[in-house]
Structure formats: structure tokens, C-alpha cells
């Protein structure tokens, strides 16, 4: 891909060993992000191509800048060997710069530096920060399940689930099958964090190591599932959570709800027969409800899937399609769903994420909470009387 220095003429270092001003160096790292753009030269006003992003070798992640990169795509996940890279400072941290003097070529993932798990500092889930890497965790597997995904034209299996220690819980995805089972206590090393739906997610790959450990100081999965609900105000302050419970009254229904159609490949919603990823498709019918839940301290959106929508509504997918044939107006179905859901008190457990519109929960369980109106009224009257 580029130029002169040969392997061996400059020292090969791990990314966490980089020191500003100690150059040139040789590194092997994986591309985490890459963005191509052009900048204007001050000398003649011409345009010069530039590629910038993040590299990782499992010990650290650093920003890189590549002047005059090759025209062929440099995609996320590609492993590169760079010989003759310069180490400079960017916002107080080392940054790699690739110039015409740097020789950059593809490398094998097997060439990434091997790091012993003992070299990584032991952290708790609560101590992790966005885009962290180079750490160890001792955690309990709360749940795990395989999920087929399409990467380019390749069909692969990713293992997704939830890990927890006494400080908190974190979602994970693993491209390697570590034969994990719910309830196991494990030590994980060599993973890294990435943002997913606004929350940090732990990613494990072929460089990661997993070992079974004694888990006497780790929570039982059932403890997380029995934890009481938090106030929605607290959930908002914390930016969501990976294993949270909230309780509130249904005060709204957001579109699209009721009978919807999904792409048969990616399961995204289809509008007018168009999937935003796969174009023109034959949409498959489904039921969903986007409920707004309020507990008096705040409100969240709950994305309810088909099974729970049928249970809360009392109408099956087949029933809804039959009603639509009788009255071909989808808004009538949405009104009927709204009438059935309004005022219901629900306890919801699942993953909460925050975006520009607030907190959205992807529920794992939804329970209807029966309210004794007489008792609730008496408690309210007592509180008001005490306040007087």
C-alpha cells in the first residue's frame, strides 16, 4: 500500500507502549473506525485526501491519520501492519501518522500481539467507560444465546447475552463460541467496548480469553431478575441500563403500533413495501406496540413485541389481519390497541437506552400489575393529610 522502511529497521511496539516523539515505529493493529475526507492545502489551495479513525491491538486504541491513503476501501475490522509510522500528540494522547514514508500493508489477525490475561488490570463493570479495552472482568453469565447475522455476503453466528457482577450488568456479543452457559462464573480478558443503541457493549473476538472461575462473590442471575423497579427519573439520570426494571401506567401509544410489516431479511419495519436497507421487499405482517409508560417521575418508551402485544391487547395477529380485511383502515386497529392499553399498570424488565427522544426499553418481560384502587386512594389521602 505504501513506502520505504522495511520490517526490522524500526522497532515494533504495542499501542499502549507508544510515546510521543519516539518515532518511527512499527505496529500491527485492527481498524476500529475509518473516515475518508479531503483537506485543502494551504500552499496551493489543492485538495488532499486523508483517512482518519481508531486502531486497536488489544492493549490500547489510538487515533490515526493517514495522508494520501490508497483508493481501495479500508474497512472496519481490517488488520494492518504499518512500518515507519510517526507518533505525535493529539489532545494529550499519542496519535499515529502515516505518510509517504510509511509502509502500510494488510496483516493477518494472527499477527496481532499476544497479550497474557494477567497483563490486563482487573475492573468491575461499573468502572468501565465508553470504548475501553485492555481489561479483565470477573462476571456471572446471566444469559446467552446464538444469533445468525449477515456480514457482507457471509452468514455468521454471533453469541449475545448479559454479564454481571455486584457493581452492575453489561450486554455482550461474541464472534467466537466460548461455550458459555447461563449461571457460569467466568473471567474475561482481551475484550473491548463499543457503543450499541446508546449503551456500551462488551465485544469478544478471537483475541479474547475466557476462563471459568469460582463465583462466590458474584450475583446469582435470579437476583437481577427479582430486583425491584427503579424510578424512571433515576433511569433517565443513569442513561438507561442493561438489566433494569421500571413500573408505571400506560399513558401513550406511539406510531407505528398495531399491525406492521417487516423486512423478511433484517426484520426492520417496511413502509410502502420498501426496506431502508434491502429496498423493495414483500413485507411480513407482525404486531407491535410502542407504549409510553409514566411513573410520576418521568416517562419511557417500551417497544413491545408480538407475543406481549397479543397478551396485553387480547387480539392475535390473525385476529388483527381479519379485522383489517373487514375494515381496511390500519388506524382503527391502532385505536383499538390504544383503548386496550390505556391506563394499564405494567412492570417492565429489560435493556434501556437513551437517544434524543429519551429512554427506550427493549423488554424481556412485561407483567401487568393489579392496582387496588381503594387501598391506593387511602394511602394517597393519608399522605396528603400528613402533609397538611
Residue 388 lies inside a defined structural domain of this protein: no
- Are residues 292 and 156 both part of a single domain? no
Residue 387 reports pLDDT greater than 80: no
Residue range of the domain that includes 359: 227-374
Q: Which of 63, 82, 111 is a domain's end point?
A: 111
Work out the burial of residue 334: count CB atoms within 10 Å of its CB; fewer than 13 is exposed, 13-18 middle, 19 or more buried: middle
Are residues 184 and 319 part of one domain? no
- 89-103 residue pLDDT tens: 987 889 999 999 999
Pair 278, 360 in one domain:
yes
In angstroms, how far is the first alpha carbon of the chain from the final one?
Answer: 78
Residue 2 within any structural domain of the chain: no
Is 269 in contact with 260 (CB distance < 8 Å)?
yes
CA distance linking residue 222 with residue 243, whole number of Å: 12
pLDDT over threshold 60, residue 6 = no
Q: Average of pLDDT values for 278-304?
A: 93
Local structure of residue 359 (DSSP, 8 states)? E
Same domain? For 215 and 249 the reply is no
Mean pLDDT of the chain: 86
Domain annotation covers residue 319? yes
| pLDDT given at position 153 | 65
pLDDT mean over 350-375: 85
Tell me how many degrees the CA angle 36-41-42 measures, rounded to the nearest 5: 145
Based on the fold, state whether residues 138 and 60 are members of the same structural domain.
Answer: no
Asked if the structure places residue 380 within a domain, the reply is no
- What confidence score (pLDDT) does residue 377 get? 60
Instruction: Give the mean model confidence (pLDDT) for residues 351-373.
Output: 86
pLDDT of 2 reads 46
Instruction: Identify whether residues 290 and 352 lie together within a single domain.
Output: yes
Q: Does the residue 283 lie in any domain?
A: yes
Four-point Cα dihedral 311, 315, 318, 323, nearest 10: -160
* Cβ–Cβ under 8 Å, residues 64 and 71: no
Domain boundary among 219, 239, 259: 219
Query: What is the average per-residue pLDDT within 17-21?
Result: 89
Cα–Cα distance between 232 and 293 in angstroms, integer? Answer: 9
Q: What is the mean pLDDT of residues 167-178?
A: 89
Does some domain include residue 8? Answer: no
Same domain, 366 and 250: yes
Lowest-pLDDT range of 43-47, 253-257, 363-367 = 43-47
Q: Is residue 271 part of a domain?
A: yes
Residues 263 and 356 in one domain: yes
User: Which tens digits make up the pLDDT trace of 22-36?
Assistant: 989 999 998 877 888
Number of domains in the chain: 3
Task: Please say whether the beta carbons of 24 and 93 come within 8 A.
Answer: no
Pick the range with the lowest mean pLDDT from 7-16, 229-238, 247-256.
7-16
Using the predicted structure, report yes or no on whether residue 80 has a pLDDT greater than 70.
yes
Local confidence band at 216 (pLDDT 50, 70, 90 cut-offs) = confident
Same domain? 105 vs 210: no
Co-location of 172 and 238 in the same domain: no
Which of 174, 194, 219 delimits the end of a domain?
219
The residues near 347 (Cβ < 8 Å, ≥ 6 apart) are: 229, 245, 246, 247, 366, 367, 369
Output the domain CATH number for residue 278: 2.40.50.140
Q: Among all chains, which residue has been given the C-alpha cell 461499573?
A: 126
3 vs 129, higher pLDDT: 129
pLDDT, tens digit, for every residue of 277-288?
Answer: 888 999 999 999
Q: Assess whether 243 and 200 both reside in one domain.
A: no
Angle at which helices 330-341 and 306-313 cross, to 10°: 70
Determine the Cα–Cα distance for residues 202 and 20; give it in Å rounded to an integer. 29
Q: What is the pLDDT of residue 298?
A: 93
**Residue 264 within any structural domain of the chain:** yes
- State the Cα–Cα distance between residues 99 and 333, nearest whole angstrom: 61
Confidence category of residue 303, pLDDT binned at 50, 70, 90: very high
Residues 267 and 353 in one domain: yes
Amino acid at each position: 500500500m505504501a513506502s520505504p522502511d522495511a520490517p526490522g529497521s524500526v522497532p515494533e511496539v504495542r499501542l499502549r507502549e507508544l510515546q510521543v516523539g519516539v518515532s518511527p515505529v512499527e505496529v500491527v493493529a485492527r481498524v476500529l473506525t475509518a473516515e475518508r475526507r479531503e483537506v485543502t492545502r494551504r500552499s496551493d489551495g489543492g485538495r488532499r485526501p486523508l483517512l482518519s479513525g481508531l486502531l486497536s491491538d488489544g492493549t490500547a486504541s489510538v487515533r490515526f491519520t493517514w495522508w494520501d491513503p490508497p483508493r481501495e476501501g479500508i474497512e472496519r475490522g481490517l488488520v494492518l501492519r504499518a512500518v515507519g509510522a510517526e507518533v505525535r500528540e493529539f489532545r494529550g494522547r499519542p496519535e499515529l501518522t502515516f505518510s509517504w514514508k510509511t509502509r502500510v500493508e494488510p496483516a493477518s489477525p494472527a499477527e496481532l500481539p499476544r497479550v497474557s490475561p494477567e497483563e490486563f488490570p482487573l475492573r468491575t463493570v461499573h468502572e468501565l467507560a465508553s470504548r475501553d479495552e485492555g481489561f479483565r472482568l470477573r462476571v456471572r453469565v446471566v444469559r446467552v444465546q446464538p444469533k445468525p447475522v449477515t456480514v457482507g455476503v457471509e452468514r455468521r453466528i454471533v453469541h449475545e447475552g448479559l454479564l454481571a457482577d455486584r457493581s452492575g450488568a453489561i450486554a455482550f456479543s461474541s464472534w467466537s463460541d466460548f461455550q458459555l452457559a447461563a449461571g457460569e462464573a467466568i473471567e474475561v480478558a482481551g475484550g473491548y467496548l463499543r457503543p450499541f443503541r446508546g449503551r456500551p457493549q462488551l465485544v469478544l473476538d478471537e483475541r479474547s480469553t475466557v476462563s471459568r472461575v469460582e463465583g462466590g462473590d458474584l450475583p446469582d442471575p435470579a437476583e437481577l431478575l427479582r430486583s425491584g423497579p427503579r424510578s424512571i427519573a433515576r433511569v433517565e439520570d443513569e442513561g438507561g441500563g442493561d438489566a433494569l426494571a421500571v413500573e408505571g401506567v400506560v399513558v401513550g401509544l406511539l406510531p407505528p403500533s398495531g399491525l406492521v410489516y417487516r423486512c423478511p431479511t433484517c426484520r426492520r419495519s417496511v413502509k410502502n413495501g420498501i426496506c431502508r436497507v434491502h429496498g423493495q421487499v414483500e413485507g411480513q405482517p407482525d404486531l407491535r406496540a410502542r407504549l409510553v409508560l409514566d411513573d410520576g417521575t418521568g416517562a419511557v418508551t417500551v417497544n413491545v413485541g408480538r407475543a406481549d402485544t397479543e397478551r396485553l391487547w387480547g387480539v392475535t395477529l390473525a385476529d388483527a389481519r381479519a379485522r383489517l380485511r373487514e375494515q381496511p383502515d390500519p388506524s382503527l386497529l391502532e385505536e383499538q390497541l390504544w383503548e386496550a392499553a390505556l391506563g394499564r399498570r405494567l412492570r417492565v424488565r429489560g435493556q434501556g437506552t437513551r437517544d434524543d427522544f429519551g429512554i427506550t426499553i427493549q423488554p424481556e418481560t412485561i407483567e401487568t400489575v393489579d392496582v387496588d384502587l381503594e387501598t391506593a386512594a387511602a394511602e394517597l389521602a393519608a399522605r396528603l393529610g400528613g402533609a397538611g
